[in-house]
Every structure is written in C-alpha cells, then in structure tokens.
C-alpha cells in the first residue's frame, strides 16, 4: 500500500519528530520561504531519502534538478572532502586556484559554441542569468532584453523581471527593471512561427532592435512546464539575433548536464547560442553556477565587473570536476535517454485509461505529464488533479514536483544514477497514484 519504510539507522528516541520540527520551522522562518514536505530529511543516498523518523522516500524531485548524479555520490563526496582538507575559501578574485581554471577549460570544451570560449563562475543560477545580461549589455552597449512567457530565470530583482510567470515569484515585489519584454513561448497551441512573429511585432511597435542587447530562452522550460523549444524557434532566434546584432542567451540552469540526454539541451536544435547559463546539476548539490560564452563577448566586461565573494567556491568546483567525471564514466547521457524512454512509455500507456492525461512531453529524462479537462482544448488545465497526484505520491513515499500553468503538470527530476529496481518501484507508485487521483 505504501512505499514508506522505517529506517533502522534512525534512533527514534533521540531524534526530533517531524511534527516538532515543523512547529519550530513555522515559528522561526518566514512564510515566504515555505517547504513542500511536512517531513524533514535525515540522510539520503542516490535516489532514496529518509526522514528524521526513519521513513523512506524515492526522490523524483532531485532538489529541483540539482541531483542528476544522485544524493551523496561517493566520488563527489570524496572530491569535496579532499578539497576541504586543502582549503575551503580564498575568494578567487583575490587568490586564484587551478581547479577554477581547469573547470572553465572543461566547460569551454563541452559547450556547443563555436570558436574561442571563456567561462566565469558564480554561486546561483540567478547570478549566472544576471551576469549574462550584464555581459550582453557591455558587449552591445544596449539595454533591452527579450524573454518568454512561462520562463523562469531566478528570484533576484532582474531574475524576477525576466521570469514570465507572476505567481508566486513576482507578486508584491515590483516594480521590476525596465526594458524587459516578454513574448509567447511556443506551447499549448502557440507555434514557433507565432512566437517569432511576436518578436517582430515588438520591433515594429514597442522597442527597436538596435536597443535590444539579448534574447534569453530556456531550450526546455523548467518551471514553465518542461515545454521543449522547437528547433524552428531556436533557429529563428539565431537568425534574428544575427540580423540585429543581439546576443542569444540559452538558460540551461535546469536542462544542462545530462538531463535531456545531452550535455546541453541546446545541442538538440543544432543552434549555437552566444552565452549559456549553467548551475543546478553542475556541482551535484554544492552551490555553483557559471556563464559560458564566446570569448569576444565574455571579455566585454571590465576587470572586476564579474565575480563575487563566494563565486566559484573551491569546494563546489571540486564537486563539479567529479560530476563531469561521473556523467562521462557512468554514461549518464545514454542513461537519461533510456530512463526517459521507459517513463514516457509508461505514461503513454496510461493515457488510454486516464483521459485527463492531456500531454506527455520532454527530452531525455526531462519529462512532464500534464493534466487537463478532456475535450476542452490545450489550455483547459486541471491543476487540482495534478495536486491530487502529487499529494498521493508523497503519502506513498514518492517525491514529485509540479510545474507549468496552474501548475497542472508533474515534472520528473530523478537522479540519472537511480537503480533500475528503485526506478521501477517509483513508476508503479506513480501509475497507481494517477489512477487513484483521476
């Protein structure tokens, strides 16, 4: 009936209960920083997590896309321990270290961008995005940015301005920076041609292209619903940016490092962006982000214009080197395709008996299932059904996250290192929850 098991390693007589910790959390932390779970983590390994009362969960949320290499991968843990024993911080802009340079070299070699490339490191995905816009502005001498509805680019002020989703990220926090313009992303009945036409309409009526520094796009939208950018959109954006001298930024914070079956989701379209933002699974749970781009563009910022006290932490850099090794050595790109194929097949089989499954979409293991009102069209979302599926799954020991309008979709961000037996167990739980909720 349930996947929740008691962890024999937990000493229940000495460990705080979930209920007591929940009460402490409500008293000590603001409601604007909530937690979805009503339980507290004690330990985790690969795709499994145990709470403070010893109950076991299968983690299909992956820390919101951070754990492509799983919880506490031994190679990553060993790399971090070795670095901590050497030194934990110098501030790279004060005293640099070889591992930063080496990781930049590795990412420059992997990124789907032609010619000479350079990489700078930061701490969060929002920082990478903000620095991408800074670099684009420095390179072009322009100010405006075009982004897409449904896109998510962070919770900083500029990140919120770029984000194309109001609730809960932007409510009550305005006004936002100016010269940011949103156009429809091709999904739910909107075509790539219509998205591109919307940009041309902007140029005719709102902002001249000579004022636009950057277009930022997620090759697969994350928070927006795991909507895949059609190759026609990416190709059209590349052509438009080339025509007008605009910098094309691919936000790969969630889609990068194997999630879609490629190092970078942009590779699926064959389009070369000018800049790529990375974070999340880059360092397997340690805070690290980066901006990779054409050398001539990256060098536009003045010395000191990029960086930060904790930017490119040596501990997180060590983790990232291990992550790249694990992805390559354990063939996680192929694993992403294989696992995603099994998930999609299971969900497609369910569509025959659950008409409320409106769509199954994604690339590799960046997959979502969306729920809607049967026969009512592509925008007849059913967020209540998605919430029921999620709630049932959590009760049965499967951690799921939602996304998209409403939100009406369930997204799947399991570790690519997940064992087959655990993956199959999770799919059985998921299928049962969808049937029960519908």
Mean pLDDT to the nearest integer, 405-431: 97
Give percent of the chain with pLDDT exceeding 90: 91
Residues in the chain: 438
How is residue 418 annotated by DSSP? -
- E strand spans, 154-226: 180-183, 212-217
Average confidence score pLDDT of the chain: 95
pLDDT in the model for residue 294: 98
Could you give the strand order of the β-sheet that contains 401-403, starting from the edge strand earlier in sequence?
Answer: 357-363, 366-371, 409-412, 401-403
Mean pLDDT of 263-267: 98
Q: Which residues are CB-contacts of 321 (< 8 A; sequence separation ≥ 6)?
A: 79, 99, 102, 103, 106
Cα separation, 438 vs 436, in Å, equals: 6
pLDDT at 75 over 80: yes
Looking at CATH, the fold of the domain delimited by 75-329 is given as 3.40.640
Give pLDDT, residue 9. 59
Q: What are phi and psi of 38, to 5 degrees?
A: -100, 15
pTM: predicted TM-score of the whole model, two decimal places: 0.94
In tens, the pLDDT along 303-327 reads: 999 999 999 999 999 999 999 999 9
CA atoms in the 13 A half-sphere facing the CB of 109? 7
Q: What are 339-397's pLDDT values in tens digits?
A: 999 999 999 999 989 999 999 999 999 999 999 988 777 778 999 999 999 999 999 99
Region of residue 156 (phi > 0: left; psi between -120 and 50: alpha; otherwise: beta): beta
What pLDDT shows up at residue 7?
Answer: 57
- Domain edges within the chain: 18-72+331-437, 75-329
93-141 pLDDT, tens digit each: 999 999 999 999 999 999 999 999 999 999 999 999 999 999 999 999 9
- DSSP codes, 267-289: GGGT---SEEEE-GGGTTTS--E
Q: Which residues contact 292 (CB under 8 A, 6 or more apart)?
A: 107, 108, 111, 113, 117, 118, 119, 275, 276, 278
On whether the CB atoms of residues 299 and 118 are closer than 8 A, the answer is: yes
Rg, Å, the chain Cα set? 22
What is residue 127's predicted lDDT score, i.e. its pLDDT? 98
Judged against a pLDDT cut of 50, whether residue 435 lies above it is answered with yes
Cβ atoms 398, 55 nearer than 8 A: no
DSSP states of 105-144: HHHHHHSS--S-EEEEEESSHHHHHHHHHHHHHHHHS--E
- Average pLDDT of 418-437? 98
Residue 15 has a pLDDT of 72
Q: What is the pLDDT of residue 6?
A: 56
pLDDT above 70: residue 71: yes
Per-residue pLDDT, 8? 57
pLDDT at 1: 41
Reduced DSSP (H G I as helix, E B as strand, rest coil) percent helix, strand, coil of the chain, to 5: 40, 20, 40
Confidence label for 65 from pLDDT (cuts 50, 70 and 90): very high
What confidence tens digit (pLDDT) does each residue in 185-224 have?
999 999 999 999 999 999 999 999 999 999 999 999 999 9
Percent of the chain clearing pLDDT 70 (strictly above):
97
> What are the beta bridge partners of residue 43?
50
Looking at the domain 18-72+331-437, which fold is it?
3.90.1150
For 135-169, what is each residue's pLDDT tens digit? Answer: 999 999 999 999 999 999 999 999 999 999 888 88
What DSSP character marks residue 209?
A: G
Alpha-carbon distance 107 to 262, whole Å? 14
pLDDT digits (tens, 9 = 90+) for 6-55: 555 555 446 799 999 999 999 999 999 999 999 999 999 999 999 999 99
């Amino acid at each position: 009936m349930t996947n929740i098991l008691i962890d024999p390693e937990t000493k229940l007589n000495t460990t705080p209960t979930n209920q007591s910790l929940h009460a402490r959390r409500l008293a000590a932390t603001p409601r604007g920083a909530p937690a979805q779970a009503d339980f507290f983590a004690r330990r985790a390994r690969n795709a499994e997590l145990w709470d403070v009362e010893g109950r076991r969960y299968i983690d299909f949320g992956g820390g919101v896309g951070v754990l492509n290499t799983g919880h506490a991968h031994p190679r990553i843990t060993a790399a971090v321990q070795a670095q901590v024993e050497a030194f934990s911080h110098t501030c790279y802009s004060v005293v640099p270290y070889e591992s930063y340079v080496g990781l930049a070299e590795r990412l420059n070699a992997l990124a789907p961008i032609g010619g000479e490339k350079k990489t700078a490191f930061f701490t969060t995905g929002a920082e990478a995005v903000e620095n991408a816009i800074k670099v684009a502005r420095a390179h072009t001498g322009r100010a405006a940015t075009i982004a897409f509805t449904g896109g998510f680019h962070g919770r900083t002020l500029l990140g919120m301005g770029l984000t194309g989703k109001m609730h809960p990220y932007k409510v009550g926090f305005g006004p936002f920076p100016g010269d940011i313009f949103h156009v429809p992303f091709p999904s739910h009945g909107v075509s790539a041609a219509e998205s591109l036409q919307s940009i041309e309409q902007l140029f005719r009526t709102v902002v001249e292209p000579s004022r636009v520094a950057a277009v930022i796009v997620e090759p697969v939208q994350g928070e927006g619903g795991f909507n895949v950018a059609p190759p026609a959109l990416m190709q059209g954006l590349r052509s438009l940016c080339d025509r007008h001298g605009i910098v094309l930024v691919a936000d790969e914070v969630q889609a990068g490092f194997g999630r879609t079956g490629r190092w970078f989701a942009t590779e699926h379209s064959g389009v070369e962006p000018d800049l790529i933002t990375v974070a999340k699974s880059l360092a397997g749970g340690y805070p690290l982000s980066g901006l990779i781009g054409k050398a001539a563009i990256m060098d536009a910022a003045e010395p000191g214009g990029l960086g930060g006290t904790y930017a490119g932490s040596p501990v997180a850099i060590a983790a990232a080197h291990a992550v790249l090794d694990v992805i390559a050595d354990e063939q996680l790109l192929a694993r992403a395709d294989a696992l995603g194929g099994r998930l999609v097949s299971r969900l497609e089989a369910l569509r025959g008996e659950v008409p409320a499954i409106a769509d199954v979409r994604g690339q590799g293991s960046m997959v979502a299932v969306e729920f809607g009102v049967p026969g009512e069209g592509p925008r007849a979302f059913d967020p209540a059904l998605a919430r029921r599926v999620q709630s049932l799954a959590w009760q049965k020991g499967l951690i799921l996250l939602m996304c998209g309008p409403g939100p009406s979709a369930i997204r799947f961000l399991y570790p690519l290192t997940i064992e087959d037996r655990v993956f199959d167990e999770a799919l059985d739980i998921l299928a049962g929850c969808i049937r029960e909720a519908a």
